[in-house]
Amino acid sequence: MKKIAVLVGSLRRDSFNRKMAKALAGLAPKSLELEILEIGGLPLYNQDFDDGGSPPSSWTEFRERVKTFDGLLFITPEYNRSVPAALKNALDVGSRPYGRSVWGGKPGAVVTVSPGALGGFGANHHLRQTLMFLDIPTLQQPEAYIGGAAALFDAKGDLTNEGTREFLCKFMEAFATWVERNSAAVP
Protein backbone atom coordinates (compact mmCIF):
# COMPACT_ATOMS: atom_id res chain seq x y z
CA MET A 1 0.00 0.00 0.00
CA LYS A 2 1.28 3.47 -0.91
CA LYS A 3 0.92 6.30 1.61
CA ILE A 4 -0.23 9.56 0.00
CA ALA A 5 0.08 12.96 1.67
CA VAL A 6 -2.89 15.17 0.83
CA LEU A 7 -2.11 18.88 0.99
CA VAL A 8 -5.27 21.00 1.06
CA GLY A 9 -4.71 24.57 -0.06
CA SER A 10 -7.71 26.03 1.75
CA LEU A 11 -7.35 26.39 5.50
CA ARG A 12 -11.07 26.90 6.07
CA ARG A 13 -12.43 24.05 8.21
CA ASP A 14 -15.52 23.57 6.01
CA SER A 15 -13.92 24.31 2.65
CA PHE A 16 -14.97 22.57 -0.56
CA ASN A 17 -11.35 21.48 -0.94
CA ARG A 18 -11.30 19.71 2.44
CA LYS A 19 -14.61 18.04 1.54
CA MET A 20 -13.05 16.94 -1.75
CA ALA A 21 -10.01 15.55 0.09
CA LYS A 22 -12.28 13.44 2.27
CA ALA A 23 -14.30 12.31 -0.76
CA LEU A 24 -11.14 11.30 -2.63
CA ALA A 25 -9.92 9.31 0.38
CA GLY A 26 -13.16 7.35 0.21
CA LEU A 27 -12.87 6.82 -3.56
CA ALA A 28 -9.20 5.82 -3.59
CA PRO A 29 -8.28 2.32 -4.71
CA LYS A 30 -7.14 -0.08 -1.98
CA SER A 31 -3.53 0.40 -3.13
CA LEU A 32 -3.54 3.99 -1.79
CA GLU A 33 -3.89 5.28 1.75
CA LEU A 34 -4.61 9.02 1.83
CA GLU A 35 -3.83 11.22 4.82
CA ILE A 36 -4.35 14.97 5.06
CA LEU A 37 -1.08 16.64 5.98
CA GLU A 38 -1.97 19.89 7.72
CA ILE A 39 -0.15 23.03 6.53
CA GLY A 40 -1.94 25.83 8.38
CA GLY A 41 0.44 25.98 11.35
CA LEU A 42 3.65 26.46 9.36
CA PRO A 43 5.26 29.87 9.96
CA LEU A 44 6.17 31.76 6.79
CA TYR A 45 9.43 30.56 5.34
CA ASN A 46 12.42 32.70 6.29
CA GLN A 47 15.85 31.39 5.29
CA ASP A 48 17.47 33.08 8.28
CA PHE A 49 16.12 30.32 10.54
CA ASP A 50 17.66 27.55 8.43
CA ASP A 51 20.94 29.48 8.00
CA GLY A 52 21.12 30.00 11.76
CA GLY A 53 20.52 26.33 12.46
CA SER A 54 17.29 27.02 14.35
CA PRO A 55 14.34 26.27 12.09
CA PRO A 56 10.93 26.26 13.81
CA SER A 57 10.07 22.80 15.11
CA SER A 58 6.92 22.81 12.95
CA TRP A 59 9.13 23.06 9.83
CA THR A 60 11.32 20.18 10.97
CA GLU A 61 8.32 18.02 11.86
CA PHE A 62 6.65 18.82 8.53
CA ARG A 63 9.77 17.96 6.55
CA GLU A 64 10.17 14.66 8.40
CA ARG A 65 6.49 13.76 7.87
CA VAL A 66 6.67 14.44 4.12
CA LYS A 67 9.60 12.03 3.87
CA THR A 68 7.36 9.18 5.14
CA PHE A 69 4.93 9.42 2.20
CA ASP A 70 5.17 7.66 -1.15
CA GLY A 71 3.20 10.26 -3.11
CA LEU A 72 1.50 13.64 -2.97
CA LEU A 73 -2.01 14.83 -3.80
CA PHE A 74 -2.59 18.57 -3.93
CA ILE A 75 -6.17 19.78 -3.60
CA THR A 76 -6.52 23.52 -3.83
CA PRO A 77 -8.78 26.44 -4.61
CA GLU A 78 -7.72 29.28 -6.86
CA TYR A 79 -6.83 32.61 -5.26
CA ASN A 80 -6.13 35.38 -7.77
CA ARG A 81 -5.24 32.89 -10.56
CA SER A 82 -2.76 31.13 -8.29
CA VAL A 83 -2.57 28.93 -5.21
CA PRO A 84 -3.23 30.10 -1.66
CA ALA A 85 -0.24 31.43 0.27
CA ALA A 86 -0.40 28.58 2.80
CA LEU A 87 0.16 25.97 0.09
CA LYS A 88 3.00 27.90 -1.52
CA ASN A 89 4.57 28.34 1.92
CA ALA A 90 4.36 24.58 2.58
CA LEU A 91 6.11 23.93 -0.72
CA ASP A 92 8.82 26.44 0.19
CA VAL A 93 9.32 25.00 3.69
CA GLY A 94 9.65 21.48 2.26
CA SER A 95 12.10 22.56 -0.45
CA ARG A 96 14.63 24.08 1.94
CA PRO A 97 17.41 24.25 2.98
CA TYR A 98 18.76 24.30 -0.54
CA GLY A 99 19.75 20.84 -1.69
CA ARG A 100 17.66 19.04 0.92
CA SER A 101 14.18 19.20 -0.56
CA VAL A 102 11.76 16.56 0.73
CA TRP A 103 9.68 16.69 -2.47
CA GLY A 104 12.02 15.36 -5.16
CA GLY A 105 10.88 12.28 -7.05
CA LYS A 106 7.62 11.75 -5.17
CA PRO A 107 4.78 11.23 -7.68
CA GLY A 108 1.99 13.76 -7.41
CA ALA A 109 -1.34 14.94 -8.77
CA VAL A 110 -3.34 18.16 -8.68
CA VAL A 111 -7.07 18.64 -8.14
CA THR A 112 -8.45 22.17 -8.14
CA VAL A 113 -11.90 22.82 -6.69
CA SER A 114 -13.90 25.99 -7.14
CA PRO A 115 -17.46 27.24 -6.95
CA GLY A 116 -16.75 28.94 -10.30
CA ALA A 117 -17.14 27.45 -13.76
CA LEU A 118 -13.41 27.30 -14.57
CA GLY A 119 -12.70 24.90 -11.71
CA GLY A 120 -9.46 26.57 -10.63
CA PHE A 121 -7.75 26.25 -14.03
CA GLY A 122 -5.26 29.05 -13.30
CA ALA A 123 -4.23 27.64 -9.92
CA ASN A 124 -3.90 24.14 -11.36
CA HIS A 125 -1.41 25.24 -14.00
CA HIS A 126 0.44 27.65 -11.75
CA LEU A 127 0.92 24.88 -9.18
CA ARG A 128 2.16 22.50 -11.87
CA GLN A 129 4.97 24.95 -12.72
CA THR A 130 6.20 24.83 -9.13
CA LEU A 131 5.85 21.05 -8.90
CA MET A 132 7.90 20.63 -12.07
CA PHE A 133 10.72 22.69 -10.56
CA LEU A 134 10.51 20.67 -7.32
CA ASP A 135 10.96 17.42 -9.30
CA ILE A 136 7.52 16.08 -8.44
CA PRO A 137 6.44 13.95 -11.43
CA THR A 138 2.84 15.11 -11.79
CA LEU A 139 -0.03 13.17 -13.33
CA GLN A 140 -0.92 14.80 -16.65
CA GLN A 141 -4.13 12.99 -17.57
CA PRO A 142 -6.85 13.10 -16.59
CA GLU A 143 -6.77 16.73 -15.52
CA ALA A 144 -9.00 17.59 -12.57
CA TYR A 145 -10.67 21.00 -12.59
CA ILE A 146 -13.75 20.65 -10.42
CA GLY A 147 -16.12 23.58 -10.89
CA GLY A 148 -19.54 24.26 -9.39
CA ALA A 149 -18.35 22.90 -6.04
CA ALA A 150 -21.22 24.46 -4.07
CA ALA A 151 -23.63 22.01 -5.71
CA LEU A 152 -21.49 18.86 -5.29
CA PHE A 153 -21.82 18.19 -1.56
CA ASP A 154 -24.72 17.66 0.83
CA ALA A 155 -25.08 19.28 4.26
CA LYS A 156 -22.87 16.57 5.82
CA GLY A 157 -20.10 17.23 3.29
CA ASP A 158 -20.66 14.05 1.29
CA LEU A 159 -20.20 14.09 -2.47
CA THR A 160 -23.64 13.77 -4.09
CA ASN A 161 -23.02 14.36 -7.80
CA GLU A 162 -22.82 10.95 -9.53
CA GLY A 163 -21.05 12.25 -12.65
CA THR A 164 -18.36 13.87 -10.52
CA ARG A 165 -18.04 10.70 -8.45
CA GLU A 166 -17.49 8.61 -11.60
CA PHE A 167 -14.88 11.05 -12.89
CA LEU A 168 -13.05 11.12 -9.55
CA CYS A 169 -12.99 7.30 -9.38
CA LYS A 170 -11.28 7.25 -12.79
CA PHE A 171 -8.94 10.02 -11.66
CA MET A 172 -7.94 8.09 -8.54
CA GLU A 173 -7.38 4.89 -10.54
CA ALA A 174 -5.11 6.81 -12.91
CA PHE A 175 -3.31 8.36 -9.94
CA ALA A 176 -2.78 4.94 -8.34
CA THR A 177 -1.23 3.70 -11.58
CA TRP A 178 0.90 6.87 -11.76
CA VAL A 179 2.14 6.40 -8.20
CA GLU A 180 3.00 2.76 -8.82
CA ARG A 181 4.81 3.59 -12.07
CA ASN A 182 6.76 6.46 -10.55
CA SER A 183 7.49 5.05 -7.10
CA ALA A 184 10.87 3.81 -8.26
CA ALA A 185 11.81 7.47 -8.71
CA VAL A 186 11.43 8.19 -4.99
CA PRO A 187 14.92 8.43 -3.45
Q: What is the distance between the alpha carbons of residues 177 and 53, in angstroms, rounded to a whole number? A: 40
Q: What is the mean pLDDT of each run of 10 residues along the chain (187 residues)?
A: 97 95 97 98 97 96 98 96 96 96 97 92 96 97 96 94 97 98 70
Q: Which residues contact 54 (CB under 8 A, 6 or more apart)?
A: none
Which helix H or strand E contains 23, and what residues bound it? helix 16-27
Q: What is the pLDDT of residue 184?
A: 64
Q: What is the pLDDT of residue 187?
A: 53
What is the tally of helices (H) and strands (E) in the chain? Answer: 6, 5
Q: What is the pLDDT of residue 128?
A: 97
Q: Which residues contact 95 (CB under 8 A, 6 or more apart)?
A: 101, 102, 103, 134
Structural domains of the chain, count: 1
Q: What is the pLDDT of residue 118?
A: 86
Q: What is the pLDDT of residue 186?
A: 52
| Order of strands across the sheet that contains 2-8 | 32-36, 2-8, 71-76, 108-113, 144-146
Residue-range definition of the domain harbouring residue 138: 2-185
Q: What is the distance between the alpha carbons of residues 94 and 16, in angstroms, rounded to a whole number? A: 25
Give me the CATH number covering residue 90. Answer: 3.40.50.360
